[in-house]
Amino acid sequence: MFHKEGYKILVSSLVGLIIINLLSNLLIDKQWIVTAIFLATFVMFILIAQFFRNPKRHVKRNEKNILSPVDGKVVAIEKVFESEFVNEERLQVSIFMSPINVHVTRYPIGGKILYTKYHPGKFFVAWHPKSSEENERTTVVVETQNFGNILFRQIAGAVARRIVNYAEEEKIAIQGEDSGFIKFGSRVDLFLPVDSEISVSMNDHVKGGESIILKAK
């Protein structure tokens, strides 16, 4: 199953690869070269397709839990001052998505969407300390019953050059549902209450919509 954001790219890639193979058959006499081109283009298409896969997730909705918004690896757990919206110290949990991870972003918690904003920016590698504030990114804030205002941020990296954000202010976020997509990987930051006792550790691998990041006290 593929994500809707990938349909146009997959179709155009497939058409392009078919044309390349037809031309190679017409213009190249050596069969081994034609075969090599076919294998290379086939592998290329498979790699592109895996970026846009969207496997079904078994989301156990519970407003006393904050779920991981994406698949990936926990690369940062630190106290920071969040200055865009909450203007207070928060516990930042950063999840890095490699090119082989599923790239769907999901709402980590349900509630009213108070704020959403796109920021153009640079393309530092996603683990760079400045990426959270200087890279292309989107910020979403959800008002919750048990955790106050929860902010999460999609961040582009050196490879990811297209962030899609579905959040709209005043709409209701549903935990585990799609909130966006980062084409070709990168990172998502969660900004949690500073006294949170989170359920993950550095270098843990998490699954979007399933792994629990934080439980209400």
Nearest-angstrom CA–CA distance, 179 and 142: 11
Nearest-angstrom CA–CA distance, 134 and 123: 8
Tell me if 139 sits within 8 A of 117, measured CB to CB. yes
* Closest CA relative to residue 176, chosen from 138, 141, 207: 207
Tell me if 63 sits within 8 A of 146, measured CB to CB. yes
Question: Dihedral angle at the C-alpha atoms of 91, 93, 94, 97, nearest 10 degrees?
Answer: -160
Q: b/e map of 83-108 (b: 16 or more CB within 10 Å)?
A: eeebeeebbbbbbbbeeebbbbbbbb
Q: Which of 132, 179, 186, 211 is catalytic?
A: 186
Q: Is 132 a catalytic residue?
A: no
Structure-token pair, residue 8 = 């146009």
Residues belonging to the active site: 186
